[in-house]
Amino acid sequence: MEFLDPALDEYVVSHCEFEPACLNELNRKTHLQVMQPRMLSGHFQGRLLSMLSHMIKPKRVLEIGTYTGYSALCFAEGLVEGGKVITIDVNEELEEMVNEFIVKCGMEGRIENIIGDAAEIIPKLDEEFDIVFIDADKKSYCLYYDLVFDKVNKGGYIIADNVLWSGKVLLADDDLDRETLVIKEYNRKIHTDERVQEVLLPVRDGLMIARKK
């Protein structure tokens, strides 16, 4: 998943804004106590998500895939007054940790943590979003995109994580597992969707950013 030389990656991180103390604690706790800590956005990507949120100044953010709550907390930093992040995850085992750090980071009332199947929950949301962040089960990326598109404001953003999939997107389709095939399908879907302006950023495992025209 790491595409930069480790020394260069360390240099990049050392020249980004410091990781807030509560997020640094969440980062450490995730790596110590939770399986697959590589799923965490982490310092560098987290500061990018925070900066994007500050630039866009969203009123509503939808996150599909909470994990331990790191990226939701980053997006919450840039909300306008009265704004909210709605984050959805099927894993109820991490709910207590997520809620613990929402409080520790002072984001009570700014993040709504929903446990359940995003495919069932999204159609029931009576909201319009300025940012949607997709970082959940890869097989459903295209479905999530279709479910949220009409709920995204004009000029709003749909951001998908892991779209380089550890570089496996470069392999021939005949050699790929189902998840990689779906990631490639998602990238093609966004690239050919004339309703959006898109850019794929090689940040960590890849961020596809689509702006709704």
Greater confidence (119 vs 2) lies with: 119
Q: Is 17 part of a structural domain of the chain?
A: yes
Enter the pTM of the model. 0.95
Position 181 pLDDT exceeds 80: yes
Residue whose C-alpha is closest to residue 149's, from 38, 28, 50, 64: 64
What pLDDT, on the 0 to 100 scale, is given for residue 39?
A: 81
Say what the pLDDT of residue 9 is: 87
**First-to-final CA distance of the chain:** 31
Query: pLDDT at residue 2 above 70?
Result: no
Position 27 scores a pLDDT of 95
Domain membership of residue 11 (yes or no) is yes
| Each residue's pLDDT tens digit, 35-85 | 888 888 889 999 999 999 999 999 999 999 999 999 999 999 999 999 999
* Residue 1 domain flag: no
Q: What is the CATH number of the domain that holds 179?
A: 3.40.50.150
Q: Is residue 48 part of a domain?
A: yes
Residues ≥6 apart with Cβ < 8 Å to 12: 4, 44
DSSP assignment string, 1-24: ---S-HHHHHHHHHTSPPPPHHHH
Residue 59 in any domain: the answer is yes
Residue 76 in domain: yes
CA 196 to chain centre: 18
Number of domains within the chain: 1
Domain residue limits at 168: 6-212
Grouping H, G, I as helix, E, B as strand and the rest as coil, residue 163 is coil
Structural domain contains residue 179 = yes
Q: Say what the pLDDT of residue 209 is.
A: 98
Contact in structure between 204 and 46 (CB atoms under 8 Å):
no
Here the tokens at position 142 are 């295209």
Q: Model confidence over 92-146: pLDDT tens digits?
A: 999 999 999 999 999 999 999 999 999 999 999 999 999 999 999 999 999 999 9
Q: What is the pLDDT of residues 13-48, one digit of tens each?
A: 999 999 999 999 999 999 999 988 888 888 999 999
Residue 37 placed within a domain: yes
